[in-house]
Amino acid sequence: MKNFRLIVVIIAAAMIIPASCKPKEPTDLTKAGIIPRPVTVTSTGEAFALNSRTTVYVDAGSDEILKIGQYLADRLNASAGLDIAVQEAQAEPGKGSILLTLSDAGNNLGEEGYTLTVTRNQVKLAAEKPAGLFRGIQTIRQLVEKDASSGEPGSFMIASGTITDQPEYSYRGMMLDVSRHFFGVEDVKKVIEYLAFYKINTLHLHLSDDQGWRIEIKSWPNLTVHGGSTQVGGGEGGFYTQEQYSDIVKYAADHYITIVPEIDMPGHTNAALASYPELNCNGKAPELYTGTEVGFSSLCTGKEITYKFIDDVVREISALTPGPFFHIGGDESHATKVEDYIPFINRVQDIVEKYGKQVIGWDEIALATLKPNSVAQCWASEENALKAIAQGAKILMSPAKKAYIDMQYDKSTPLGLHWAAYIEVDDSYNWDPATYIPGVAKENIIGVEAPMWTETLTKLDDIEFMMFPRLPGIAEIGWTPAALRNWDEYKLRLALHGRFFEEMDINYYKSPRVPWQESK
Ligand code: TNX
């Protein structure tokens, strides 16, 4: 009898309280698997119910914010099979709404910070800038989970509580080498989508190297006609027309990602040298190159035509690039004498400045006289890093032993190289940019970048396999304060991301060091 009364009470309660608002399992926002880990999270133990009746409201009168709202709705609808609509908020939106707003964000959230407040009735995302809203909607995407307590298919929930979040470093990037093997616009767009999910804000494109020149330069057309016609292994190569490059830039901007174009010089230039004999000191064009050696080519630093060439290339690419940086390479110039290298880099810095851009170069550029706003990308030499900061320049951290995501995970990895190290997922996570090089402190560093060289990578699947699961960790290093990061806690969150990799159809490396959850 007692049991019977209890059952009646339970059934009655179940009828009054919609199941989706009162999940059986208590929710805990602090246990949600958000990557990068947010700066502060507090849980209130309830949940917001998400279903096709949910509406995304945005501040009225802003196309930009409307687009961000639509992006969120599109992604939720695609991954959860929902039919969420987006509307401009007229009055204070009511129950069941997700509100994106630039008001009441509080102060000091900066360009990319946001606050997220989730109650049973509403999700409110506030930021000072649209970029902050865009970063915040990635958090929302990662928080949505199936509501196990509801029998209804199409019932999802978001754990309740508050998140206040902003990045530790302003530059969080990945580099993609499209020269050794060429990757078309659609592949690059996929990479941009993956980066956005982890709040990465920069994609550096390595657009030229010995094996291929990959961007149309109207004043030097043979660069792509001839110089873009092959790749490592002798395949057909390819290049972006200026229109296609602009399309990538625009797609990246729609994801609040800045494109950094790189034209590597004075070394790594065989494709250009093969296309124009006059760029060679002996006036003779070498053959195209499809191997993987480095350090054998050099622009002729003593010829005036070399600087006319660079001026044209920097001018045309800068005109298509809204971001602040132009990457001049500068690495492994073993075929250029150092007494030629230094004045060359100095002069190229002036050209880049003339077209309104800031120089980034691989750490070797610190041998030259750096402009105070130039950035040395540290991949190998600690000495160069110290030389750069002694000149007042800033550092972008890409130490090859940690951040090179073209390195093999271990001896059995079928793709990648291992000249720097084998880099398992914990190795790529366990380091701190601000303590990695003695003498280089946090205030010297603009951020971190994970380079993806593609000597051994021929298709998007290969890129995915090397990116995942290491890239999320690099993203967290750039976003989350070092004091909040530790591998044993991170690996549990990373394990939860297996479901996102599967949803996005990402070909990832199932590292044995991560306790992956069986997919439900
Ligand atoms: C070194 S890292 C290079 C690249 C190669 C890479 C392969 C750097 C600045 N230069 O030319 O592709 O190693 O891991």
Checking DSSP bridges between strand 208-209 and strand 212-213, what pairing results, if any?
A: antiparallel
Distance between CA atoms of 138 and 136, rounded to whole angstroms? 5
Which pLDDT score, from 0 to 100, does residue 519 have? 55
Q: What is the pLDDT along the chain (520 residues), one digit of tens a residue?
A: 445 554 544 444 444 444 444 554 668 999 999 999 999 999 999 999 999 899 999 999 999 999 999 999 999 999 889 999 999 998 888 899 999 999 988 779 999 999 999 999 999 999 999 999 999 999 999 999 998 777 777 789 999 999 999 999 999 999 999 999 999 999 999 999 999 999 999 999 999 999 999 999 999 999 999 999 999 999 999 999 999 999 999 999 999 999 999 999 999 999 999 999 999 999 999 999 999 999 999 999 999 999 999 999 999 999 999 999 999 999 999 999 999 999 999 999 999 999 999 999 999 999 999 999 999 999 999 999 999 999 999 999 999 999 999 999 999 999 999 999 999 999 999 999 999 999 999 999 999 999 999 999 999 999 999 999 999 999 999 999 999 999 999 999 999 999 999 999 999 999 999 999 865 4
CB neighbourhood size of 152 (10 A): 10
Rounded Cα distance, 121 and 100, in Å: 15
Q: What pLDDT is attached to residue 27?
A: 86
The pLDDT score that the predictor gives to residue 19 is: 41
Q: Which of 264, 293, 332, 334 has most ligand 1 atoms within 8 Å of its beta carbon, as the pocket-test mutant?
A: 332
The closest of 380, 379, 417, 384 to 398, measured between CA atoms, is: 379
Predicted pLDDT at 22:
53
Query: To test ligand 1's pocket by mutation, which of 331, 375, 377, 449 has the most ligand atoms within 8 angstroms of CB?
Result: 331
- Alpha helices by DSSP H, listed for 267-417, are 270-275, 304-320, 338-354, 382-390, 400-403
Residue 262: CB within 6 Å of ligand 1?
no
The whole-angstrom separation of Cα 25 and Cα 46 is 10
Contact assessment for residue 352 and residue 358, using Cβ atoms and an 8 Å cutoff: yes
- Cα–Cα distances in Å, from 494 out to 98, 129, 167, 270? 26, 28, 19, 41
Is the CB of residue 453 below 6 angstroms from any atom belonging to ligand 1? yes
Contacts of 383 (CB under 8 A, 6+ apart): none
For residues 179 and 454, give the distance between their C-alpha atoms in angstroms, rounded to a whole number. 8
- Is-cis flag, bond preceding 38, omega within 30? no
The residues that bridge with 215 in the sheet, in sequence order, are 240
71 lines ligand 1 (CB under 6 A): no
Closest Cα to atom 6, ligand 1: which residue? Answer: 453
Pocket lining: 331 vs ligand 1, CB cutoff 6 Å: yes
pLDDT at 17: 45
Per residue in 314-373, pLDDT tens?
Answer: 999 999 999 999 999 999 999 999 999 999 999 999 999 999 999 999 999 999 999 999
Q: Is 430 helix (H, G, I), strand (E, B) or coil?
A: coil
For residue 67, the Cα-to-chain-centroid distance in whole angstroms is: 20
* CB 289, CB 259: distance < 8 Å: no
Candidate list 64, 111, 278, 332, residue with the active-site label: 332
Active-site residue flag, 145: no
Q: With a 6 A CB cut-off, is 171 part of the ligand 1 pocket?
A: no
> Is the CA virtual torsion 373, 374, 379, 385 positive or negative?
negative
CA–CA gap between residue 374 and residue 324 (Å, rounded): 11
Rg (alpha carbons) of the chain, rounded to whole number: 25
Q: Which residue puts its alpha carbon closest to atom 8 of ligand 1? A: 331
What is the predicted pLDDT for the residue at 25?
A: 61
Helix (H) and strand (E) counts in the chain: 17, 18
| DSSP 8-state symbol, 417 | B
Q: What is the pLDDT of residue 3?
A: 55
Atom of ligand 1 nearest to the CA of 329: 9
**Contacts with 246 (C-beta within 8 Å, 6 or more apart), sequence order:** 320
Neighbours of 430 (CB within 10 A): 15
d(CA 418, CA 400): 10
Q: Whose CA is nearest to atom 4 of ligand 1?
A: 453
Classified as helix, coil or strand, 114 is strand
C-alpha 143/C-alpha 499 separation (Å) is 12
> Residue 37 and residue 139: Cα distance in Å, rounded?
10
Q: Could you tell me which residues are beta bridge partners of residue 147? A: none
126 strand-pairing partners: 101, 115
Element (H, E) at 314: helix 304-320
Choose among 205, 213, 204: nearest CA to 270: 213
Alpha carbon distance 116, 106 (integer Å) = 12
Choosing from 174, 205, 294 the residue with most ligand 1 atoms within 8 A of its CB, the one to mutate for a pocket test is: 294
